[in-house]
Structure 1
Amino acid sequence: MRLEKIVLDGFKSFADKTEFTFDSPVIAIVGPNGCGKSNVVDAVKWVLGEQSVKSLRGSQMSDVIFRGSSSKKAVGTAEVSLFICGTTGQLPIEADEVRISRRIYKSGESEYRINNKICRLKDVRELFMDTGIGTRAYSIIEQGQVEQLITASKADRRIIFEEAAGVSKYKAHKKEALRKLERTEQNLLRLADILGEVQRQLRSVKLQAGKARNYLRYSQRLKELRVNYS
């Protein structure tokens, strides 16, 4: 499984539709300062679901949309697509090539797609879980990141090793299961409170019903006595 192509359209400095194709499983982006290397890396992280505006070197998410220049007009949307080939047996999807796309509008609203079908950010993250592909995974090594890994805390290094070992997916599923269990327990507690309140109201209603029956019985008896002695 490898990255085959990146398509950028209106993303940061790439005002026009731009394609980068790759024929090697290992990719290095090099070039002089200001040529857009960092923007390509930002595009990959962004389409994989990066939510940190700071990580993308902006003040708000819509800043990734090309704002215009002296020679080109600003655009209204930005879109990035990754084409990943050799995915058969590697990803939980029946396709030898997977296309992941993300589009953003000036409003800040994002839209994700897997093979042109609209999906959730959660679907994108789960698709690549334990593959090393992701915004914080080891598939993207930026300048200075190796040094950061060496000096990182044990907890941070553990996250990377767990991703490489394929443990992250199971930890995420366990975390989700525990959240569901907690919500279920909270719902049971609320149901117990509701049941207790209903039982209290039922006792009160039974008492009132008994009083009403007694009233009707005595009223009927009083009518009979009045008839007998009239």
Structure 2
Amino acid sequence: MRVTEIIIDGFKSYAVRTVITGWDESFNSITGLNGSGKSNILDAICFVLGITNMTTVRAQNLQDLIYKRGQAGVTTASVTIVFDNMDKEKSPVAYEGWDSISVTRQIMLGGVSKYLINGSRTQQHVVQTLFQSVGLNINNPNFLIMQGRVMKVLNMKATEILAMIEEAAGTRMFEDRRDKAFKTMARKDKKVGEINELLKEEIEPKLEKLRSEKRAFLDFQQTQSDLERLTKLVVAHDYVKNKQRVEQSAAELQAKKHRVSWLGDSAVRLKGELDNLAEDAKRVKAQRDKELRKGSKFLALEKEVKEKSHEIVRLNTVLDLKSNGIKEEKEKRKEILKNVKDLEKAQEARTKVYEQLNEAHGAAKVEYDAKCKQAEQTDELLQELLTGVASREGQESGYQSQLQGMTLLDSVELQLTLPR
């Protein structure tokens, strides 16, 4: 990969677009009078290659690289280098399919800088990786040999010469990458240690406390559920028993009413019989008096009168027994009606208790659903934490990648905001 063309526009002393072509494959030199811009061409090459030390290109900041610092109407400095990429064996990694590669760097007033590769905008580290893949490191202190640098190179020590050879061979950049990777791994290990310590000292005890509270809550819910179930069974049992007693009392009351009605009919019938007997007694007495007057049938009639008297006494006795039975039945009827009223009051009280328990059950169920939802959110948070800690390095959605950018104070503040 070699330079075939350089396009400079607005960079240092080149106010207008300047194209430099005709580059040789082996050796090139730039000649001219003092102040003609020979060094600016080399500075433009270093500028595109991504040099970070501004003193190498004789500038204090990026704005110094714009023509007259932008005071002449030029607000943008742009340098493009076109490389010949026909030799695929020496082609940069991932650019084997391009016959030529153009790298452009632009800066604008205010310090805004951007890179383009083959017309597509890219990041600075991508450009550095492209050049490092072909053994070119612009930030190598020996990349440019300025005036007076030759004698310093000749007087270098063995270690310095070895470092320069490593830079020239392209191995030093990999050592720098290795050192940088080791430092990054050390920082990551330190951060992982802090996170593990935080998990061990802060998060895991709180999670264990939440687990114990969840178990206690589940036990309470089970006990509450058993209590509600047994209370409902007791209330339902009492309700059924009282209802059966009310029905039985109503049946007994109906039977007593029928018996009272039958006893009333019997009393009326017996009263009619007594009236008939009284009439018969009068009639027999009149007949006896008549027979007495006749003389012969008196004894027979007297005997019949005695029999009728005994019958009347028997019927009166039966009537008295029936009357007493009616009174007793009336007393029992009053007691049964009183028991029915008491049972109805007890049934109303049991119904009210049942309704209150039903309302309490509804409220407990709502609270239970809320606690279950909170427990599910806690479990989801635990899974997210466990999943985030185990996520791969560099994954943006992982909890670990978020914690890596935080200080220890931020991690503690994040822990304090977790739900309890």
Partner residue of 1:227?
A: none
Point out the more displaced range, 155-164 or 116-125. 155-164
Q: Which amino acid aligns with 2:123?
A: R
Could you tell me how far apart the structure 2 residues matched to 1:202 and 1:134 are?
Answer: 51
Following TM superposition, by how much is the alpha carbon of 1:64 offset from its aligned partner in structure 2, in angstroms? Answer: 0.3
Could you tell me how far apart the structure 1 residues matched to 2:158 and 2:84 are?
Answer: 34
From the superposition, tell whether residues 136 and 147 of structure 1 become closer, same or farther in structure 2 (CA, over 3 Å): farther
Point out the more displaced range, 108-117 or 85-94. 85-94
Could you tell me how far apart the structure 1 residues matched to 2:219 and 2:143 are?
Answer: 81
Indicate whether 1:111 and 2:114 are aligned.
Answer: yes
Q: Which amino acid aligns with 1:49?
A: G
Matches within 5 A, 1:135-146: 135-137=138-140, 140-146=144-150
Partner residue of 2:252?
A: none
Could you tell me how far apart the structure 2 residues matched to 1:186 and 1:150 are?
Answer: 44
Whether the 8 Å CA contact 1:103–1:112 is kept in 2: the answer is yes
Could you tell me how far apart the structure 1 residues matched to 2:123 and 2:158 are?
Answer: 32
Q: Which runs of 5+ in 2 are unaligned?
A: 232-420
Indicate whether 1:188 and 2:192 are aligned.
Answer: yes
Following TM superposition, by how much is the alpha carbon of 1:172 offset from its aligned partner in structure 2, in angstroms? Answer: 4.0
Could you tell me how far apart the structure 2 residues matched to 1:10 and 1:152 are?
Answer: 38
Point out the more displaced range, 82-91 or 9-18. 82-91
Point out the more displaced range, 83-92 or 150-159. 150-159
Matches within 5 A, 1:113-132: 113-129=116-132, 131-132=134-135
Following TM superposition, by how much is the alpha carbon of 1:207 offset from its aligned partner in structure 2, in angstroms? Answer: 5.2
Q: Which amino acid aligns with 1:53?
A: M
Following TM superposition, by how much is the alpha carbon of 1:60 offset from its aligned partner in structure 2, in angstroms? Answer: 1.6
From the superposition, tell whether residues 125 and 74 of structure 1 become closer, same or farther in structure 2 (CA, over 3 Å): same
Could you tell me how far apart the structure 2 residues matched to 1:199 and 1:158 are?
Answer: 53
Indicate whether 1:83 and 2:82 are aligned.
Answer: yes
From the superposition, tell whether residues 135 and 202 of structure 1 become closer, same or farther in structure 2 (CA, over 3 Å): closer
Whether the 8 Å CA contact 2:7–2:19 is kept in 1: the answer is yes
Point out the more displaced range, 72-81 or 13-22. 72-81
Whether the 8 Å CA contact 2:67–2:77 is kept in 1: the answer is yes
Following TM superposition, by how much is the alpha carbon of 1:88 offset from its aligned partner in structure 2, in angstroms? Answer: 2.2
Whether the 8 Å CA contact 2:3–2:84 is kept in 1: the answer is yes
User: What is the number of residues matched between the two proteins?
Assistant: 225
Could you tell me how far apart the structure 1 residues matched to 2:148 and 2:139 are?
Answer: 14
Matches within 5 A, 1:36-185: 36-67=37-68, 73-86=72-85, 87-92=87-92, 93-94=95-96, 95-129=98-132, 131-137=134-140, 140-152=144-156, 154-185=158-189
Point out the more displaced range, 159-168 or 127-136. 127-136
Normalization by structure 1: what TM-score? 0.80
Could you tell me how far apart the structure 1 residues matched to 2:5 and 2:127 are?
Answer: 17
Q: Which has more radius of gyration?
A: 2
Whether the 8 Å CA contact 2:9–2:16 is kept in 1: the answer is yes
Indicate whether 1:198 and 2:203 are aligned.
Answer: yes
Q: Which amino acid aligns with 1:59?
A: Q
Whether the 8 Å CA contact 1:10–1:16 is kept in 2: the answer is yes
Following TM superposition, by how much is the alpha carbon of 1:54 offset from its aligned partner in structure 2, in angstroms? Answer: 1.8
- The Cα offsets for residues 134-164 of structure 1, whole Å up to 9 and x where unpaired, read as 4245665433332232234555433331132
Following TM superposition, by how much is the alpha carbon of 1:85 offset from its aligned partner in structure 2, in angstroms? Answer: 1.1
SS for the counterpart of 1:23 is: coil
- The Cα offsets for residues 177-196 of structure 1, whole Å up to 9 and x where unpaired, read as 42443344234213312321
Point out the more displaced range, 15-24 or 173-182. 173-182
Whether the 8 Å CA contact 1:68–1:74 is kept in 2: the answer is no
Following TM superposition, by how much is the alpha carbon of 1:32 offset from its aligned partner in structure 2, in angstroms? Answer: 1.9
Point out the more displaced range, 131-140 or 160-169. 131-140
Q: Which amino acid aligns with 1:2?
A: R
Q: Which has the higher contact order (CA 8 A, sep 6+)?
A: 1
SS for the counterpart of 2:128 is: helix
Could you tell me how far apart the structure 1 residues matched to 2:208 and 2:183 are?
Answer: 36
Whether the 8 Å CA contact 2:135–2:169 is kept in 1: the answer is no
Whether the 8 Å CA contact 1:12–1:67 is kept in 2: the answer is yes
SS for the counterpart of 1:54 is: helix
Could you tell me how far apart the structure 1 residues matched to 2:117 and 2:16 are?
Answer: 23
Normalization by structure 2: what TM-score? 0.46
From the superposition, tell whether residues 119 and 215 of structure 1 become closer, same or farther in structure 2 (CA, over 3 Å): closer
- Sequence identity percentage: 27
Could you tell me how far apart the structure 2 residues matched to 1:213 and 1:80 are?
Answer: 72
Q: Which amino acid aligns with 1:205?
A: L
From the superposition, tell whether residues 204 and 134 of structure 1 become closer, same or farther in structure 2 (CA, over 3 Å): closer
Higher helix share: 2
Matches within 5 A, 1:25-40: 25-40=26-41
Q: Which amino acid aligns with 1:16?
A: V
Point out the more displaced range, 75-84 or 20-29. 20-29
Could you tell me how far apart the structure 1 residues matched to 2:81 and 2:217 are?
Answer: 75
